[in-house]
Structure 1
Amino acid sequence: MNWARIGIAGLAGLAVIGGFVWALWPQPSPVDLARVTRGPLQGEIAAQGVTRVRDPYAITAPITGYAQRAPVVEGDAVIADETVVAIISPPDPALMDARTRAQAEAALTEAQAAVELAETNLRQAQSSYAHALQQLERGRALADRGTIPAQMLEDLQAAHDSAEQSVAAARAQGDLSRATLLRAQAQLLGPELRFDPDRPESACCLRIVAPRSGVVLGVEDRNARLVQAGAPLLSIGDLDDLDVVIDLLSSDAVGVPEGAHALIEGWGADSVLEAQLRRVEPAAFTRVSALGIEEQRVRLHFELLSPRDARPALGEGFRVRARVILWQEDDLLQVPRAALFRDGAGWAVFVLDGGRATRRPVEIGRQSADMAEVLGGLESGAQVVLYPASTLSDGAAITDRAALR
């Protein structure tokens, strides 16, 4: 009986000791694993972009004048050389003060008197001419009969010619006086002429038509107002010719190949649009980042290749996300970048080998956003640890976290 109790007690003690040993025994660390694979890989740069009409037309006021309320609004379709997009009338004369008006009225009275004087001089010249003509005709008749000498006939001819020139001079003086009168009357015109219901339409306005077909992108001000020559009125463009403008760091822009393709996302629909590099601006500009760092950036212009039917609602100035393709290969050995960590001057990964993590140096080539090209140190199918913890050491026991779920 005593031996049985001792045996039972011994077994219980061994069970307790075994439990403690099992509890304190190092357990495999659960980790996330991924395989090294072969497949297509591409390098890209992600950036924000803005859509821009390729060749917008900015319409400005050709003269200083009074712009009427805009006959078109944003989004209106226009036809080249047909659609009236702006109406401008010449500026009205300014209101005159009392002294200026009194001087203008005096000039008008003076001009009216000059016209009357010119008309009187014309009548006088015409009377003298009629008398000279009669004298000349009578002298010719007498000269034919030999009654008067030839010299007297020549004097009568000279008097007739002088009287004829006097009539011409009087007429010219009358035209000059009437023109002076019109100028004096014009000095008294005021802005009330705009409200004259009998004002002819031809004397009103300069009508500006659309220089090209498209849509109205923007109107500077729809209200009627006074504009100076060269003031912007509106802009017109064709939404079929859209570019995507992207600002890249100058160091990144240098690596973009000629004719590079880009994938346009985040423009408001689920579809992905295609674009191709059309132009890189030759000069960079300085932009201050959100962290207050000055950056040298370069604008790249990408032509949208997707047809208008694939982007019906995309317009001018829309924000988009772009992925610029720098290079692309169809069959490369690759490893997730999340598995890489620095090992001195190179790279290394932890490989699953017999339930343990084995540190293995690797040679890395080109990298994409998520994957990296493997040039050496790994073979296809190997399992690597993703996001290795700083406490993970070479030879530590590990297990796949996905297998524990």
Structure 2
Amino acid sequence: MTLAGPNRTVALALVAAIILGGLFWAFLPAPVAVDLVEVQHAPMQVTISAEGITRVRDSWRVTAPVTGAAHRSPVRLGDAVVGGSTVVAVVEPAEPPFLDARARRLAEASVSEAEAAVRLAEANRARAQTQLDHALAERDRIRALTERGTLSRTVLEDAEQAALVASSAHDVAQADLDMRRATLARMQAQLESPATIRSQASATCCVEITAPHSGLVLELTDESARLVTAGETLLVIGDPSDLEIRVDLLSGDAVGLNRGTPARITGWGGETVLEAEVRQIGPSGFSRISALGIEEQRVPLILDILSPPNQRAGLGAGYRVEVTLVTWEAENVLQVPSAALFRSADDWALFTEVNGRAVQTPVVLGHVSRDWAEVLAGVAEGARVIAYPGSSVAHGTKITPREAMTP
């Protein structure tokens, strides 16, 4: 049976409507799958991450007091020492150098000159002694005559004055003789060979250095006997359980830090997260070239480790650690993921989900961390925002949830 007339027209129109409806439905844009995050209150921290190096808080550097030969070290790396008791180094003062022919002739001439000066000084002293003896005898004679009334008092005073002058001249001559003899001894010492000096040396010739403080030997320059110069480092002593951490932080990050800022220590090799705090912030910065070749201004920070030594067993001086500085924290903060934020003109904005569609919403932010941002105005608790919206999401785009994130 076939349709005719109006029925046929209605049937054709119905078929056409179904086909057009199917085509329209087929070409409708599909909803964009997005990550939805519920806005809620949760604890929040703003942190700065950096690398640090551990070091002993207080160390004592032992140096050579004189130039000479250091004996083989009596201590080894890691040995325990007692302050003021344990001998940690022995240094023998340097021997005089050998004289070449020219230097020896000069030294011998100096000795001859000094010997002649001694003979001259001895002659001067003998003359002064003779003059002194004469002046004293003359004074005694005149005193006896004065007492008998033969000579006046003035003559006696002149004789006493002459005796005093002669005594002073004798003292000057004796001092000059002593000086000339000392010069001769110095010149003769220059002629002594190192072998002669070594044979005359006693067991107390060497300088024994005791530990300035109790602790462990942290660094040992060289265990072998060797020549050292005055002021050269021989070893370093310290307590490896009393550690601190140095962090060279970017100057822009250091501005917001204060003494007592808390920190967490990770990446040191143990499973425990160590607690620390900032003790000192450097008064000035310095320049350093980064691994990318960029010149950076950095500020040194010193951190105290608050965790007890039994929680950081194995951590020693010179170890690399990862430091997380907590610049701000709160327990109840309305926050959204940083991945949901983007710039709109001069303001911050995000997409909220309203009736299955994306709605662009401006927001006012407070503190911002790496993953989360504090919201001061714009969205309320319980609203759902789109994380990582991408270019496929715009205001009014139909969306469908993919998964959720929580602070």
User: TM-score, normalization: structure 2?
Assistant: 0.73
Counterpart of 2:359 in structure 1 is 358
Q: How far does the alpha carbon of each residue in 1:56-92 deviate from its partner, in whole angstroms, 9 at most, with x for none?
A: 2111111111112223333222221122221100111
* 1:82 and 2:78 are equivalent in the alignment: no
Q: How far does the alpha carbon of each residue in 1:273-304 deviate from its partner, in whole angstroms, 9 at most, with x for none?
A: 11111111212212233344333221111111
Q: Do the aligned residues in 1 keep the contact of 2:246 with 2:303 (CA within 8 Å)?
A: yes
* 1:275 and 2:276 are equivalent in the alignment: yes
Counterpart of 1:94 in structure 2 is 97
Q: Do the aligned residues in 2 keep the contact of 1:352 with 1:358 (CA within 8 Å)?
A: yes
SS in 1 for 2:317: coil
RMSD of aligned Cα (Å): 3.8
Counterpart of 1:201 in structure 2 is 203
CA spacing shift, 1:106–1:268, aligned 2, 3 Å: same
SS in 2 for 1:252: helix
Counterpart of 1:390 in structure 2 is 391
Map 1:329-348 to 2 at 5 A.
Answer: 329-348=330-349
What count of residue pairs does the alignment treat as equivalent? Answer: 343
Q: Do the aligned residues in 1 keep the contact of 2:259 with 2:281 (CA within 8 Å)?
A: no
> How big is the shift at 1:323?
0.8
SS in 1 for 2:318: coil
Counterpart of 2:51 in structure 1 is 48
SS in 2 for 1:401: strand
Cα separation, 2, equivalents of 1:178 and 1:246: 63
Map 1:28-39 to 2 at 5 A.
Answer: 28-39=31-42
Any stretches of 5+ residues in structure 1 without a counterpart?
112-174
Any stretches of 5+ residues in structure 2 without a counterpart?
115-177
SS in 1 for 2:326: strand
Cα separation, 1, equivalents of 2:359 and 2:84: 76
Name which of structure 1's ranges 12-21 and 22-31 shifts more when overlaid on structure 2. 12-21
Name which of structure 1's ranges 251-260 and 214-223 shifts more when overlaid on structure 2. 214-223
Q: Do the aligned residues in 1 keep the contact of 2:69 with 2:93 (CA within 8 Å)?
A: yes
> How big is the shift at 1:13?
8.1
Q: Percent identity?
A: 48
Cα separation, 2, equivalents of 1:377 and 1:185: 97
Q: Do the aligned residues in 1 keep the contact of 2:241 with 2:316 (CA within 8 Å)?
A: no
Q: Which amino acid aligns with 2:374?
A: E
Cα separation, 2, equivalents of 1:107 and 1:224: 36
Cα separation, 2, equivalents of 1:268 and 1:9: 78
Q: How far does the alpha carbon of each residue in 1:123-145 deviate from its partner, in whole angstroms, 9 at most, with x for none?
A: xxxxxxxxxxxxxxxxxxxxxxx
Name which of structure 1's ranges 274-283 and 214-223 shifts more when overlaid on structure 2. 214-223
* 1:62 and 2:65 are equivalent in the alignment: yes
Cα separation, 2, equivalents of 1:393 and 1:341: 12
Counterpart of 2:245 in structure 1 is 244
> How big is the shift at 1:201?
2.8
* 1:224 and 2:213 are equivalent in the alignment: no
> How big is the shift at 1:27?
0.8
Counterpart of 2:265 in structure 1 is 264
Name which of structure 1's ranges 216-225 and 23-32 shifts more when overlaid on structure 2. 216-225
User: TM-score, normalization: structure 1?
Assistant: 0.73
Cα separation, 1, equivalents of 2:218 and 2:16: 88
Cα separation, 2, equivalents of 1:79 and 1:86: 13
Map 1:167-178 to 2 at 5 A.
Answer: none
Q: Which amino acid aligns with 2:347?
A: G
Counterpart of 2:153 in structure 1 is none
Q: Which amino acid aligns with 1:96?
A: L
Q: How far does the alpha carbon of each residue in 1:158-186 deviate from its partner, in whole angstroms, 9 at most, with x for none?
A: xxxxxxxxxxxxxxxxx999999987885
> How big is the shift at 1:110?
12
Counterpart of 1:368 in structure 2 is 369
CA spacing shift, 1:85–1:9, aligned 2, 3 Å: farther
Cα separation, 2, equivalents of 1:375 and 1:255: 21
Q: Which amino acid aligns with 1:224?
A: A
Counterpart of 2:152 in structure 1 is none
* 1:255 and 2:275 are equivalent in the alignment: no
Q: Do the aligned residues in 2 keep the contact of 1:92 with 1:190 (CA within 8 Å)?
A: no
Cα separation, 1, equivalents of 2:62 and 2:287: 30
Map 1:295-306 to 2 at 5 A.
Answer: 295-306=296-307
Cα separation, 2, equivalents of 1:263 and 1:25: 52
Q: How far does the alpha carbon of each residue in 1:287-325 deviate from its partner, in whole angstroms, 9 at most, with x for none?
A: 233344333221111111111111121122211111111
SS in 2 for 1:202: coil
> How big is the shift at 1:105?
8.5
